[in-house]
Amino acid sequence: MKFTKEDIEQIKDYGLTEKVVNQQISQFNDGIYYSNIHSAATVGDGIFEISYLEVDNYVKFFETKRDEISVIKFIPASGAATRMFKFLFDFLKEYNPRLQSLNAYINRNALRDLPLFLIALEKFPFYNTVLKELEKAGVDYANLNPNQKAYVFVKTMLEENQLNFGSYPKGLFPFHKYNNDLSTAFEEHLFEMAFYGSRKKPLKVHFTISEKHKDKFTKEFKRIEERVEKITGFSYEILFSYQHQSTDTIALTKENELFRNEDGSLYFRPSGHGALLKNLNTNEADVIFINNIDNVVVKDYKHEVAKYKKLLAGILLKTKSSVFTHIKSLKNKELTEQDLNTIGDFLSNDLNFSISEEFEKYSHKYKIEYLIEALNRPIRVCGMVKNEGEPGGGPFWVKDESGRLSLQIVESAQVDKKNKEQKRILANATHFNPVDIVCSIKDYEGNIFDLQKYVNHKAAFITMKTKVGKDVKALEIPGLWNGSMAYWNSIFVEVPVSTFNPVKTVNDLLKPSHQLS
């Protein structure tokens, strides 16, 4: 692809090179790389089931260690709340209260989300906020008919010159209400961290946000800081970072030509949450908790959620200790063949690592090198919940080009649905990935791994987007917990579905985990 002089300058300004951009274009031309899923990971075959007694033991182990180590929580939080209100935006666009009744509109379109929303209005934490805005605008809401009430309420929520909820960062939208206090997802993560952070150090929470919202998040923290610290008894260290511009990817037309903005410049797009690997790599903590911004609960449920966070962290710490012990033995001791086989068994049984079938034929020296290389990687322990039809990724055994199996989190978009066998395996998955991850990114000497070395760069996504009404081909780099962690050592653990409480639509706020009992 030929670039103009202006293109080359723009590419440099993005922190990119011509070579990198041409590699991105090649990925468009080559098409999407599909994962070759061999089978779904299940309990007993890739997913560990932990007994109640073991849960308590792992929790207690983590609790005895957390004050000796550094702990941080890493929250991707750059998303907007817009998609939470999709069915309400559709309602404003399609419904005219002067021309039809609300019931007729609902019945004709066989709607489910809208009637649920309207019936439960008073249960939403923002209900009084909307009423105050209506009062301020001089609307006599109480005396409107039901058709008008529904329309003006939603209009007040969403229109740009009114509350404009759709423009909120998702993390700053009010999810819960305690008496007269509204609590955002951002605030709930701070409260939750108090259950499993260090008892002796400030609680560290790292949010990746859109740079344009930095002031809003900073202002929100200042507003709630004193109250949160008073209730929890802990101080906080809040870190903000942004998706690096150098991780943006070139956009193409449907015909794989360069898509240009109206001023003739190249169009680059943010490349998905996989770009946050750079942000993750800046953390120096011994234990990193990773969760999505919208997966929070009201205070009644926090003890239960925190217990399973501590379970995963306890498993991580015990596993990491064993890994480091084995690496040091391999480097510093004279080990017998039986010793090497024991370490190989640990890799297979505890880390789900597929040892090469040729291992027995290797020389003693090469066996040691092989085992060190297999052990000396970032580690992640991932909670997995039973599949209840949620969209998104799940745990699978994946076969690479050499025929080796590895445990991976695979998104449905990474699976070739035209292949009947692949589609069947996907449909029969028993568990779902709730993005409940605890990880270690330090090696046995305390050095931070270069996480870019453990990425499957082929596991990128090609999606169709729109820009000023035109179709755009977008390239998303390997997802943070998919291809970006492809060559980590992975442990999958079954956790209760009660730990998974995302808010994908506004109606999710009506679920018990988001309502005070």
The pLDDT of residue 365: 94
What pLDDT is recorded for position 140? 95
Return the DSSP state at 369. H
The pLDDT score that the predictor gives to residue 392 is 65
| The predicted structure's pLDDT at residue 48 | 97
Confidence of residue 460 (pLDDT cuts 50, 70, 90): confident
Confidence of residue 487 (pLDDT cuts 50, 70, 90): very high
For residue 268, list its beta bridge partners.
250
Q: What is the pLDDT of residues 192-203, one digit of tens each?
A: 999 999 999 999
Are 222 and 188 in contact by the 8 Å Cβ rule? The answer is no
Confidence bin at 111 (pLDDT 50/70/90): very high
Q: How far apart are CA 64 and CA 68, in angstroms?
A: 8
pLDDT-based confidence at 303, cuts 50/70/90? very high
pLDDT above 90 as % of the chain: 84
Q: Please, which pLDDT band fits residue 272 given cuts at 50, 70 and 90? A: confident
Burial of 326 (0-12, 13-18, 19+ CB in 10 A): buried
Least confident of 187-196, 460-469, 477-486: 460-469
DSSP string, 122-184: GGSTTHHHHHHHHHHTT--GGGS-HHHHHHHHHHHHH-TTTT-GGGSBGGGSEEEEETTEEEE
Structure tokens at 269: 């797009």
Q: What mean pLDDT is predicted for residues 456-473? A: 85
Say if residue 49's pLDDT is above 80: yes
**pLDDT, the chain, mean:** 94
How much is the pLDDT for 244?
A: 85
Q: Is pLDDT at 389 greater than 80 in this prediction?
A: no
Model pLDDT, residue 391: 58
pLDDT of 436 strictly over 90: yes
Over residues 433-450, the mean pLDDT reads 97
Nearest Cα neighbor of 73 from 312, 300, 250 is 312
- Taking the mean position of all CA atoms in its chain, how far away is CA 30? 27
pTM of the predicted structure, to 2 decimals: 0.93
Number of Cα atoms under 13 Å in the Cβ half of residue 247: 21
Whether the per-residue pLDDT at 383 is higher than 90: the answer is yes
Under the banding of pLDDT at 50, 70 and 90, the label for residue 412 is confident
> 259 or 389, which is more confident?
259
The pLDDT value recorded for residue 438 is 98
Tokens representing residue 389 in the block: 């039809």
Give the span between the Cα atoms of 44 and 344, in whole angstroms.
19
Q: By the 8 A CB rule, do 72 and 440 touch?
A: no
* Domain spanning 5-81+168-318+394-398+401-499+507-514, CATH class: alpha beta
Hey, what are 5's tokens? 């002089």
Who has greater pLDDT, 126 or 274? 126
d(CA 180, CA 165): 19
Q: Between the CA of residue 34 and those of 64, 151, 448, what are the distances in Å?
A: 43, 45, 30
Q: Which residue has the higher pLDDT, 192 or 256?
A: 192
Place of tokens 């209840």: 388
335: pLDDT strictly greater than 70: yes
- Whether the pLDDT of residue 288 is over 90: the answer is yes
Percent of the chain clearing pLDDT 70 (strictly above): 99
Q: Hey, how many other C-beta atoms are within 10 angstroms of the C-beta on 333?
A: 9
What is the pLDDT at residue 390?
A: 64
Q: What is the pLDDT of residue 208?
A: 96
Max Cα-Cα span within the chain:
86
Strand partners, 73: 205, 289
Would you place residue 469 in the very low, low, confident or very high pLDDT band (cuts 50, 70, 90)? Answer: confident
Q: What are phi and psi of 184, to 5 degrees?
A: -85, 170
pLDDT of 59-81, one tens digit each?
999 999 999 999 999 999 988 89
Domain boundaries, the chain: 5-81+168-318+394-398+401-499+507-514, 82-167
pLDDT tens-place string over residues 203-228:
999 999 999 999 999 999 999 999 99
